[in-house]
Amino acid sequence: MERKFARRRALSADDRSALRTLPFQRQSVPPHGFILREGEPSRRCALIHSGLAYRNKTTAEGMRQIVSIHIPGDMVDLQGALLKIADHNVQALTPCEMIFIDRQAVADLILSHPTLGMAMWVDTLIDGSIFREWIVNVGRRDAHARIEHLLCELGTRFEMAGLSDRDGFDLPMTQEQIADSVGLTPVHVNRVLKSLGGDRLIQRNRRYIRIPDWQKLTDVAGFNERYLHLDQATV
Amino acid sequence: MERKFARRRALSADDRSALRTLPFQRQSVPPHGFILREGEPSRRCALIHSGLAYRNKTTAEGMRQIVSIHIPGDMVDLQGALLKIADHNVQALTPCEMIFIDRQAVADLILSHPTLGMAMWVDTLIDGSIFREWIVNVGRRDAHARIEHLLCELGTRFEMAGLSDRDGFDLPMTQEQIADSVGLTPVHVNRVLKSLGGDRLIQRNRRYIRIPDWQKLTDVAGFNERYLHLDQATV
DNA sequence: CGGGTCGTTGACTCTCATCAACCCTCGTGG
DNA sequence: CCACGAGGGTTGATGAGAGTCAACGACCCG
């Protein structure tokens, strides 16, 4: 965690020691397990130590929409410190090791160490940028481009986090979860994946995805990594 | 602005005076005028004094998607203080009076007055929550519910901001802009609006919208105002 | 009065959803 | 050791919702 924030802003020795003395609690969450439930009052913040997780919401008619995917190092619940009621669910995609920090401890930390607050705020802003791109994805791209774009985003985020190579990674999502991420049905996702394979844009082996020509995939996807703000190191 | 932040967190006299002495610059922006352009380096933060504005992005194929609507009091560009390159456009919907604050001044303010930083951060988090709901809207609702939901959101935000009544307000958007907000075509938006009129869910007169039965509209829209975090006053 | 923007309507098309069946793989227990 | 069941993936047939194309109408402003 310290490493991550140090990438965002220059940290003082005091900042670092404050981070290290922050009281936290570790917890494993199995796949599908809830890390946060919509409607619950906020009690703590959550940080992924290992594993993948996803945020989702459900419409009144019971349709589910996944609104983001999170990887180790992501704070999936910063709003836990500042907002009162959770407006969405967070669930584990794979087995997760989570770090939970008390709401009040985070709030105090931000007030006493504003530089750390800014580092976390940057994360919130980047999250927001990714949400905006997802609105564009489901609102204005066809089924092929939506899925291609999702693969590009995950590939580059995995690579930046040092989890894998962007042109070859394990995607531990069911086709139903992919469908819920891009606003399609599982059946259609299946057909599109098959078609992407036929076009040699991807190669699949189980849930392992290989991208033989990264440039070609980003082109057809209309993927521009600017919205990920990868340059966002120290100011 | 001071009023707004005071709603978010309890402010000290020092916080208030720091806000009041913040150097700013006022500027009018005509409809369609750019407040921020994608790809530009960040130089300043923007706050709407009067008028409406919208954020939007364009796909590689040239399709536009509006990702949020903003009203007076909204900081439409807090990321200007912390991120380097703008990842989307912000344009005026109606004639706008904007307040621009230098990037560095905002960053300094946050460091010297963490309580103000938290107040602004709350805004960022609520923005994020609204983005998530928009992903659900375009991803998992049909055309009718999408437009109904947009009307519900704008109605309640207008009312909370004291701009108008939620069940009767002027909606200064063209049908094309509505289409770009909900991921449909202008033609289809037209048909749906007509159909909503036929079902007595709304009454239209030019761009004025009357909602005769608020409860009924929120029901069919599947609208739940939780995601707007209206309770978010002082902690 | 004329041109431009926006709204409206009809005819036709096509992408994606729906429904339904079948398959594969893997873990479990008899 | 094999049968079974469950979850997930695959495929086909059909249909609905939204897109496209095109024309016309209404309104506003210079």
Residue A235 has pLDDT above 60, yes or no: no
Residue A3 has pLDDT above 70, yes or no: no
pLDDT at position A79 is 85
Residue B9 has pLDDT above 80, yes or no: no
Q: What is the average pLDDT across B128-148?
A: 98
Predicted confidence (pLDDT) per residue in A123-157, tens digit: 999 999 999 999 999 999 999 999 999 999 999 99
pLDDT at position A78 is 84
pLDDT at position B21 is 87
pLDDT at position B4 is 67
pLDDT at position A5 is 64
Q: Between chain A and chain B, how many beta carbons pairs sit less than 8 Å apart?
A: 174
Contact between residue A71 and residue A158 where contact means Cβ atoms under 8 Å apart: yes
Q: Residue A176 has which token pair?
A: 């139903």
Predicted confidence (pLDDT) per residue in A58-94, tens digit: 999 999 999 999 999 999 888 888 899 999 999 999 9
Q: What is the average pLDDT across B7-12?
A: 73
The continuous run of DSSP H or E covering A35 comes out as strand A34-36
Query: Is the distance between the Cβ of B183 and the closest atom of strand D smaller than 7 Å?
Result: yes
Which residues in B lie closer than 8 A to residue A111 (C-beta atoms)? 114-115, 118
Contact between residue A168 and residue A211 where contact means Cβ atoms under 8 Å apart: yes
Nearest beta carbon to residue A132 from set B67, B224, B232: B67
Predicted confidence (pLDDT) per residue in B52-92, tens digit: 999 999 999 999 999 999 999 999 888 888 899 999 999 99
Closest CA to B200 of B177, B219, B216: B216
Contact between residue A75 and residue A123 where contact means Cβ atoms under 8 Å apart: yes
HEC profile of B44-91: EEEEEEECCEEEEEECCCCCEEEEEEECCCCECCCHHHHCCECCCEEE
- Does the beta-carbon distance from A60 to B224 stay under 8 Å? yes
Q: Which residue has the higher pLDDT, A55 or B4?
A: A55
Q: What is the average pLDDT across B11-36?
A: 89
Contact between residue A155 and residue A211 where contact means Cβ atoms under 8 Å apart: yes
B111 has a chain A CB within 8 A of its CB: yes
- Answer left, alpha or beta for residue B7, where phi above 0 means left and psi between -120 and 50 means alpha: alpha
Residue in the structure block whose two tokens are 């594993």: A51
Predicted confidence (pLDDT) per residue in B184-210, tens digit: 999 999 999 999 999 999 999 989 999
Strands B34-36 and B24-29: unpaired
Beta partners for residue B55, in sequence order: B68, B90
- Does the beta-carbon distance from A59 to B129 stay under 8 Å? no
Q: What is the average pLDDT across A31-46?
A: 94
CA angle A219, B87, B123 (to 5 degrees): 140
Which residues in B lie closer than 8 A to residue A61 (C-beta atoms)? 222
Identify from B104, B116, B120, B125 which residue to disrupt to test chain A contact, counting A C-beta atoms within 10 A and taking the largest count: B125
pLDDT at position B13 is 82
List the A207 CA – C26 C1' distance (angstroms): 15
Q: List the 50-89 stretch of B: residues with Cβ below 8 A of A.
A: 55, 57, 59-61, 63-65, 67-68, 78-79, 82-85, 87-88
> What is the sign of the dihedral through the CA atoms of B26, B27, B31 and B36?
negative
pLDDT at position B5 is 64
| Position A2 confidence tier, pLDDT thresholds 50, 70, 90 | low
Q: DSSP character for B134?
A: H
Residue B170 has pLDDT above 80, yes or no: yes
Question: Which bases along strand D come within 7 Å of a protein CB atom?
Answer: 7-13, 17-22
Residue B234 has pLDDT above 70, yes or no: no
Give percent of chain B above pLDDT 70.
Answer: 96
Of A48-52, A138-142, B3-7, minimum mean pLDDT range: B3-7
Contact between residue B23 and residue B89 where contact means Cβ atoms under 8 Å apart: no
Nearest beta carbon to residue B121 from set A82, A138, A141: A82
* Centroid of chain to Cα A159: 13
Contact between residue A112 and residue B118 where contact means Cβ atoms under 8 Å apart: no
